[in-house]
Structure 1
């Protein structure tokens, strides 16, 4: 625990912001996987039940019902993915902000003590590099899982659409 706190101390206050944003992003990602594995099959069964119980006498309302069911299915499958995308795009920017903040500290040390204070400059450089690394690593993992979740949503949508069309 002491090493973790030391790491966050070296990374500066923006590292805590990166942690908070990445935790929110991961919460949304985990929720989406939970949805795909446990709730999407229930939603699909519910919507298919509505499709099977439709009135066979009205052709036009059948098309509207089909489009409504498909739109509802897609909206549920894509829910929350925009937020994951936004958070994933914010993370490298927070890392870049940490880089700028760390470099400003380096220039302040140079301004006050001159270029001979290596220890003082190292703290700013450390902050710059740690926040950049943290922002990029969390963003890269977010990009991967966001793309995977979007692929799952589109595939599930196509499968559901095909299932309704074949019936």
Structure 2
């Protein structure tokens, strides 16, 4: 079973060209970062929120300018940890279609080479170049789309959690 899967992946990679390996590695790294962020949001972030709210509530004085600056620093610390690798994820999402486009260009160069050598009469040789041109584009787009959805969710979650923390610290302040 695993051998069949491995052979299918190898055949797909050979059909799409060497740029497909780069796109695959990029998507793998992107999803490792996305999964790390999802695990952080679902596990560690809640604990950090509770600790930050407890620290703010433990302060004897919460109304001065200094207290507001400390509050802002606490919110910023939590927000920075929450958004830790989001810019990298967003850059990888943007890079996926660009690498797919690079695969398209290299595949089309292969088609033009075949046309120059055979005069355009060898459709079988041209088909290999066309598949090498279209498969990386598809892979780059699929990777980018999956990353866009996850990145959007993570960005929205970070924004929502920051607002929740601001509200919680504000409510603590008015006591």
1:133 maps onto 2:138 in alignment: yes
Cα deviation for residue 53 of structure 1 reads 2.0
Matches within 5 A, 1:54-133: 54-56=59-61, 59-133=64-138
Please give the per-residue CA displacement for 1:3-41, whole angstroms capped at 9, x wherever unaligned: 210000011010000000000100010001001000101
1:44 maps onto 2:27 in alignment: no
Q: Give, in whole Å, the separation in 1 of the partners of 2:75 and 2:7.
A: 52
Cα RMSD over matched residues?
Answer: 1.1
Matches within 5 A, 1:15-54: 15-54=20-59
Q: Give, in whole Å, the separation in 2 of the partners of 1:124 and 1:20.
A: 22
Unaligned runs of 5+ in 2: 1-5
Unaligned runs of 5+ in 1: none
TM-score normalised by the chain length of structure 2: 0.92
Q: Which of 10, 17, 36 matches 1:5?
A: 10
Which residue of the partner structure matches residue 142 of structure 1?
Answer: 147
TM-score normalised by the chain length of structure 1: 0.97
